Amino acid sequence: MYGGMLVLIGLLMGCGRAPAERVEWHDLIRDLLDTDRIARMDTRTAFLVSSSDPTGGNDDFNQYLRPGPDGWWVIADLQGPGYISRFWFTGAEDGSHRVRFYFDDESEPRIDMTIGEFCGGSDPYLPPLAVYENYCWYNLIPIPYQQRVVVMVEEGRYKPGNWPRIFYQINYHTLDRGETIDSYPRTLSEADRDVIRSVNQVWAEATWFPSLDTWDVASRTVDLPPGAQERWSLDTGPAVLRQISLTPEYAALPTATAREDLLRDIVVNLYWDDADAPSVSVPLGDFFGAFWRRNRYQTLYVGAEDDTVFSRFPKPFKQSMQVELVNEGASTVSIESVIHYEPLTEWDPRWGYFHVAWQRSSPQDVGQPHRALATEGVGKFVGCMLAVVSADQSWWILEADEWIRVDDETEPGWNGTGLEDYFNGGWYYQNAIIRPLTGIPFKMPFRVLQYRFHLMDPVHFQQSVDVMFERGPDHASRGWMESVAYYYMDRPHPAASDLRTRAQRNRPEDGFGQGTAMTEINNMERIGDYQGAHDFIDWFLELYADFPYAELLRLRQIAYRERFEGFDAVEPLYRAFLESVESDAARRQAENLLWFHEDPSHALLSGYANSRTALFHNGRGIGVVDSAEQMSVFRVTMNEGRHVLGMQARFHPYPNWVQAYLRTHETDHFTTPQWRWQFNARGPWTQVGFDDAQWPVVGGTGTKGPPEVPFVWVYPHAYIDMQSLAVGLRPSRDWTDQNALAAFRYEFDWP
C-alpha cells in the first residue's frame, strides 16, 4: 500500500541539502513530509500575526496593521530572512477577495490573486495543502522572504454590519543569525510546481507511514483487574519508539456502556530513561483521539483502526522506556500492547522527549481560561486535541481565542482570533472532517472535538509555556473543556496532567441526550467509521432503553451489517425484522430496503429540506419534502442513459437547506456544491438535456449539518449514507424575495 509513497518520499527527502547557513525553499516544502521534525529540538519556532482584537474584546476582525493603497489593508509586515508557514483567512463572502504579497521592498507584488485562487483554486495551490473548507481558506505552502514581506488584502467593512469581516492568521518563522533564503520566486518554474504537486500527492493519503515490518517489535498482553496497574520496560536505548498501539478486549466487557467507559477507565503512563514520574499521563481514549467514545479515524500522528488505537508521534529515548497501564474502572480488562521501535547507533541530542498533558475545566470555572498546558523547562509545544461541551446550549463558547505565553512574556505573544480559527475552521464549523494535521472528528449541538498538530509551526520555549483557550468572550460561557496537549522537552519531566478522580473524568452531559442521535451517527459516517456508528446504537439504546424509535435504529444496524457482510448474509435478518416489527415507519423502511434489492433497476431517492421542496427525476415529480426533522425516501426505477435530478424550494429564512441522495446499484448521486441553481427557473429545466450552462454552480462547501441550529432533532432512519454524505445546499445569500423559487439540478449518466 505504501510502497509507491515511500519511493516518492525518498526521492523528495533524499536530495542533498545546502550548507546550514543557506535555506532552500524546496527543502521547506519537503519538510512537510518529514514527520520526525516534530520531535526535533532544533526546528524554528513559529510566531503569529492575526486580526485579534487589540482591546481584548471579541471583535477579532477588520483589525489590520495599517492602511495600504486605496482599497487595501496591510495585515503583515515581516522582516527577513524568514518564511510564512500558514496563511488562514475568512470573513469574505466568497473567494473573490484579493491578496497580495510584496517582497523585499518591490513596488509590484509577486503574488497577486484572489483568496480562492491562493487557497485551493489554482495550480499549484491545490488541496490538501491549500484549500477552502469548513468556511475558511488556508494555505500551508511555505512562502519565504529574504529581506521583507508585506501582505495586503482588499479592505472589508464596506457593507452594513461591518461586512466583509476580515479575519486572518499568519504563522511565520525568523531564520537564525547567518542564515539566508531566497524570496519566493517571481515566476514559479515547472520544477517548483512539481515539488509542490509531489507533496500534495503524498498528503492526499492522509498518512504515509511505512509498513510496521520495517521496525523492531515488542509486545505484551496484560489482564488488569479493577485497581490494578502493570508496568513493563524496553531497555534498548538509544531508540525511537515509532508506534505504540493498544488493543483492549472489548468483547469480554459486559455492556456497551462498559466498553465506552473503558476509554476513561484506563490511564496510560509512559516513562523515559530512569525518570521517577511519567512524562505521558493520560486516559487511554483521549491519548489516541477517542474522546468519550470509540472513534475510528486516522490522522498523521494518532488514530484508531478496528479495536486498536495507536500513536505515531516519534518518541525518542536515550536509555529505556516504560509503559504503565492503570485500571481505575470497575471491570477486569485485557489489553494487548505493541511497540514498534527503531534502534539508533547513537543518541542525537537534537531529539526531544515526548510529553502529553491532560486537563479538564468545567462550568464552575467561569471567569478563567482553560489551560491546556502550563509547564517549565526547555521544550516545544506541538499541538493539542480539544473537546468542548456547552452547558448554555449555544455555540457562543467557541468565540474563544487561543493564547500562548512563552518564557518571560508578561502578555501572550500568540493571540488568536477564535477557537475554530486555530483549528483551521470557522463559523462554528460545517461537519466532521479529518486531515493529516487538523480536523473535526465530531460536531453536534453543542459538542465538538478538534485537533491541530504543529509539524511546521511549533512553539519553542526556553523557560516556560502557557497554552490557554478563552472560555467564550470574557470567559463567561459555561461549559466543559477537555484537552490533550502534545509537547517535547529536552529531558524527561513529569507530565503536566491533572487526571482527577475517575468519577471526575465522566463524559460531560450536553443537555440534548436523545435529541442528537442521528447527528452523532451521521458524523461517524462522514469520517468513515461505520463500525463506530453500529456500536454507538448499542450504547445509545442501552442508555435510553425507552427510546421510542429504537426499532428504526435496530433496523439501521442490520443495514450496517449489510455493508460489512453483503446483502445475502443479512436478508434473513431483514425478513425476521419484518415479522416482528411494530413501528409502521420501521416496517416501510425495511420494505424499501428489500425492494431495492429485488431488481438492479430499483433505486431509492431521498429528500431533506426545511422549506417546502419538490423533487424531480427526469422531468417527473417524485414527491415533496418540507420537514427539518425528517428525511423522506421515494422509490425510483432507473433506465440506461442520461438522467437528471432536480429540486425546487420555496423561500425560508436563514438557516435553509435542500438535500437529495439517489442510491442505485451502480454509482450513487447526491447534492454537492457542484450542482447548478437558479431563481425562478424557466423552461423544461427538470428534463434531461436542458441547457443550464448559464446557471451558476452553488459553490462553497455547503451548509452546516444539516440540520443546522436552531434545528437539532432528526427522526432516526435506516438509510446509511443518504443523509451523512449528501451536502446541504442553499442558493445565494441574496434570497430576499420571498416569492422567488430556488431551483437546483444535476445531470448524469446511468449506469
Q: Locate the domains of the chain by residue range.
A: 3-33+64-203, 212-505, 512-593, 599-751
Which of 203-217, 364-378, 593-607 has the least mean pLDDT? 203-217
Give the up-direction half-sphere exposure of residue 376: CA atoms within 13 A in the CB hemisphere: 1
Q: Are 623 and 634 in contact (CB under 8 A)?
A: yes
Return d(Cα 744, Cα 589) in angstroms, integer: 27
The rounded distance, in Å, linking the Cα atoms of 466 and 386 is 15
394 and 477 in contact (C-beta within 8 Å)?
Answer: yes
CB-CB contact of 321 with 315 (8 Å): yes
Query: How much is the pLDDT for 686?
Result: 97
Confidence of residue 3 (pLDDT cuts 50, 70, 90): very low
Centroid of chain to Cα 305: 17
Would you state the pLDDT for residue 1?
A: 39
Q: Contact, 47 vs 38, CB < 8 A? A: no
Please give the angle made by the CA atoms of 146, 71 and 103, to the nearest 5 degrees.
5
pLDDT of amino acid 510: 74
Does the fold of domain 212-505 match that of domain 3-33+64-203? yes
C-alpha to C-alpha distance for 387 and 292, rounded to whole angstroms: 10
CB 81 within 8 A of CB 147: yes
Average pLDDT over residues 282-288: 95
CATH 2.60.120 is the classification of domain 3-33+64-203: yes
Taking CA atoms, 327 is separated from 232, 271, 273, 502, in Å, by: 15, 17, 24, 10
Strands (E) located in 583-650: 602-609, 613-617, 620-625, 632-637, 641-649
* Pick from 337, 388, 382, 380: nearest CA to 362: 388
- Statement: residue 137 has pLDDT above 80: yes
Give the closest residue to 128 by CA, choosing from 25, 63, 208.
208
pLDDT over 70 at 397, yes or no: yes
* 657 neighbors 609 (Cβ within 8 angstroms): yes
Compute the average pLDDT of residues 111-139: 95
- What confidence tier does 211 reach under pLDDT thresholds 50, 70, 90? confident
More confident: 595 or 210: 595
Residue 532 has pLDDT above 80, yes or no: yes
CATH superfamily for domain 212-505: Protein of unknown function DUF2961 (2.60.120.1390)
Work out the average pLDDT over 399-417.
95
The one-letter code for the residue type at 209 is F
Of the pLDDT bands very low, low, confident and very high (cuts 50, 70, 90), residue 205 is confident
Residue 8 has pLDDT above 80, yes or no: no
Asked if pLDDT for residue 4 goes beyond 60, the answer is: no
Rg, the chain, Cα only: 27
366 — alpha (psi -120 to 50), left (phi > 0) or beta?
beta
**Residue 308: exposed, middle, or buried by beta-carbon count in 10 A (0-12, 13-18, 19+)?**
middle
Q: Which residues touch 387 (CB under 8 Å, ≥6 apart)?
A: 291, 292, 447, 448, 449, 480, 481, 482, 483
**Nearest residue to 80 via CA among 183, 164, 209:** 183
Q: Residue 732 has what pLDDT? A: 77
DSSP state of 514: G
Q: Which residue, 613, 720, 721, 616, is CA-closest to 657?
A: 613
Mapped onto helix, strand or coil, the DSSP state of residue 488 is: strand
User: H helices within 1-78, ranges in order?
Assistant: 3-13, 25-30
Residue 351 DSSP class: B
pLDDT for 208 equals: 65
Specify the pLDDT at position 324: 97
Please name the amino acid found at residue 369: P
State what percent of residues in the chain have pLDDT above 70: 97
339: β partners: 218, 244
Residue found by looking up cell 451517527 in the block: 521
Q: For strand 180-181 and strand 22-23, is the pairing parallel, antiparallel, or unpaired?
A: parallel
Q: What is the mean pLDDT of residues 109-134?
A: 95
Q: What is the pTM of this model?
A: 0.94
Residue 559 above 70 pLDDT? yes
Give the Cα separation of 615 and 745 in Å (integer). 10
**Is 599-751 a domain of CATH 2.60.120?**
yes
Q: 131 with 124: CB under 8 angstroms?
A: no
Which residue type does 468 have?
A: M
Give the distance, in angstroms, between the CA of residue 502 and the centroid of all CA atoms in the same chain.
28
Dihedrals phi, psi of 143, to nearest 5 degrees? -120, 100
Q: How far apart are CA 272 and CA 354, in angstroms?
A: 9
Helix (H) or strand (E) holding 138: strand 136-139
pLDDT at 214: 85
In percent, how much of the chain has pLDDT > 90?
90
How many residues comprise the chain? 751
